[in-house]
Amino acid sequence: MSSQNTVLLTIINIIFFSHLSFAQEVNIYSHRQPFLINPFLEVFTKKTGIKTNVVYSTKGLAQRLKAEGQNSPADVILTVDIGRLYIYEDYNLLLPINSKVLNNNIPSHLKSPKNTWYGLSKRSRVIVTSKERVDTSKIKRIEDLANPEWRGRICSRPGSHVYNRALMASIIAANGEEKAEDWAAAFVSNLARRPQGNDRAQVKAIFEGQCDIAIINNYYFGKLKYSEDPQQQEWAKTVNLIFPNQGNDDRGAHINISGGGIAIHSKNKDNAIKLLEFLSGEVSQNLYGKINFEYPANPKISPSSELVGWGIPKEDQIPIIKIAELGPVAQRIIDRVGW
């Protein structure tokens, strides 16, 4: 065969057959970056012999799944943030799962009431303060950040980022919409600069002295502490970590989840269930802490020793689905106060 024909056949092959599934595969739509999920998938394939195929995108995968309908090749959906999981369920894109293992491993406030999605790891929204310039005894609750004392001293990521929107939703759930909006307005008036940057950048700003207080996801603290860049390690050294709302009568720190579900038109359901069960099991649950400083969703697994070292927070126990339901209300408040 001439080389031209070979090339042509290869192209035809890629175009028309690359999407077809063969035996022992599972196809994943993932909102998590490949470099974070690959370590899990490698172990999974090694243990089960099931090959994994991944499409990663931060946005729009739910719309893709919806548009593809019954032609979709997807089996498993992996996301970060409860809001995204909720959208899949809202669009009826998830299959109710009947798995004893999953129901055993994942507590009920971290899963869908319809068994369509399961939380797989937890992250906490925490306060970081400058070791030098802030007396930690003055900040016990997330509500304290509205005190006029902190005027011009807080840095923040834009309010409409999923993490802040979820935090806002948790405050609405706890205190009601009106009080939550008052809090947000006061919080915004305390900002040292226009909301910008990601969680990492907030810690950097404290290090630089642009502000003294910020809100971040707990795992960013670990990522900075163990960064390859010695400078980022320095940033982490300049801040204290405060878990908010830890008082005896208080609700606990706001948590969010990463999670997964099975696509409603999945053609490899058994493999898909196997993958989710694997992710909720001991090996994976330990990996979440090791790779990304996240807390295991499975209560039988204890968090990594590094996480234990920072202190294990008391968690806000409201059903996680409430956070998703209040998301749009939270966004409206964020728009109104200009966070």
Partner 1 sequence: MVNSTTALKNRWVSFDTWTFIPFLLSLILFGPIICLFITASGDSEGLWQHLYQTVLLKYIVNTLLLMIGVSISVLILGVGAAWLVSRYEFTGRKLYDWLLMLPAACPAYLVAYAYTDFFEYAGPVQNILRTFFGWQNAQQYWFPEIRSLGGAIFVMSFVLYPYVYILARTSFLKSPSSFYEVAKLYNKNTFFSVGLPLARPAIIAGLALVCMEVISDFGTVEFFTVETLTLGIFNVWLGMNNLVAASQIAIVAFIFVIALLFIEIKSRASKKYSDSTQRQTNQNKIQLPKFKSLICAIFCMVPVFLGFILPILLLFSHSLKTSYHQDWIKLSRVVLDTLMIAGIGSISIIIISSLTAIIAFYKGKSFLNKFTDLASTGYAFPGTMLAIGILVFIGLIDNFYSLIASGIFGNFNSGVLSGTILVLILAYVVRFQAVGYGSIRSGVTQIPNNLIDASYMMGKPFNEIIRKVVFPLIKTSIIAGGLLAFVDIMKELPMTLLLRPFNFETLATYTYQFAHDELIEQASLPALLIILAGLIPVIIMNKYLREIKL
The residues binding partner 1 (CB under 8 A) are 14-16, 18-20, 27, 33-35, 53-61, 63-64, 67-73, 83, 86-87, 90, 158, 160, 162, 165, 194-198, 200-201, 204, 207-210, 223, 228-229, 265, 327-328, 331-332, 334-336, 338
Residue 106 CB, nearest distance to partner 1 (Å)?
Answer: 24
d(CA 325, CA 174) in angstroms, rounded, equals 14
- Closer Cβ to partner 1, 139 or 154, answer by number: 154
Residue 292 CB, nearest distance to partner 1 (Å)?
Answer: 10
d(CA 339, CA 336) in angstroms, rounded, equals 8
Residue 7 CB, nearest distance to partner 1 (Å)?
Answer: 11
d(CA 299, CA 294) in angstroms, rounded, equals 13
- Closer Cβ to partner 1, 158 or 319, answer by number: 158
| Residue indicated by tokens 């009826």 | 92
Given a contact cutoff of 8 angstroms between Cβ atoms, the answer to whether 187 and 155 are in contact is: no
- Closer Cβ to partner 1, 27 or 284, answer by number: 27
Helices (H), the chain: 3-17, 34-48, 61-68, 82-90, 100-105, 162-175, 177-189, 199-208, 218-225, 230-237, 269-280, 282-292, 305-310, 320-325, 327-337
Residue 149 CB, nearest distance to partner 1 (Å)?
Answer: 20
Residue 163 CB, nearest distance to partner 1 (Å)?
Answer: 12
- Closer Cβ to partner 1, 20 or 23, answer by number: 20
Both tokens of residue 25? Answer: 């595969």
- Closer Cβ to partner 1, 107 or 158, answer by number: 158
3-state percent breakdown (helix, strand, coil) of the chain, nearest 5: 50, 15, 35
- Closer Cβ to partner 1, 200 or 251, answer by number: 200
Residue 124 CB, nearest distance to partner 1 (Å)?
Answer: 18
Find the farthest-apart pair of alpha carbons in the chain and give their distance in angstroms, rounded: 79
Both tokens of residue 94? Answer: 């998830």
Residue 119 CB, nearest distance to partner 1 (Å)?
Answer: 19
| Triad 60, 325, 187: Cα angle to 5° | 95
- Closer Cβ to partner 1, 59 or 100, answer by number: 59
d(CA 268, CA 54) in angstroms, rounded, equals 14
